[in-house]
Amino acid sequence: MEEETSLVSADAVEHDAVEYTYLTLPPDRALRSCIGLVVAGLAARARIGIAGLEEAVELLESRHSMEGPTRYRFSLKDDGLVADVEEEVPNVDLSDGETGGTSGADSWRTVVEMVS
């Protein structure tokens, strides 16, 4: 198994007229603080106060997986910050209702919404 060479990647991508910033963290507890840096920077950019910032970071850190890379997606919308976490969509066999692994598709779950 080949290890990823870049520990943290962040880039902005425009999708449906909303600009997203992505953060990918490998399964390393020492890198969890990167989440707080990104959230604090984006909250400052959106001019959001610090109330609730610590709780938001703790919630996002709790979604960090130790089994594989975790992808986060951040956006600034309507004077607020939205943070999503990528989840794999289970592959469901509709004939008997049992899951058969994952489909490989990604789904984003909104975990934090902060407004000014």
pTM: 0.73
The domain 9-115 is placed in CATH, from the list 3.90.105, 2.30.30, 3.30.70, 3.30.565, at: 3.30.565
Is residue 106 very low, low, confident or very high in pLDDT (cuts 50, 70, 90)? confident
Q: Which residue has the higher pLDDT, 97 or 57?
A: 57
Q: What mean pLDDT do residues 109-116 have?
A: 92
Distance CA 47, CA 43 (A): 6
Q: For the chain, give every domain's residue range.
A: 9-115
Question: For 26-83, what is each residue's pLDDT tens digit?
Answer: 999 999 999 999 999 999 998 988 888 999 999 999 999 999 999 999 999 888 999 9
Give SS3 for 55: helix
H helix or E strand, kind and range, residue 38: helix 33-45
Distance CA 99, CA 103 (A): 10
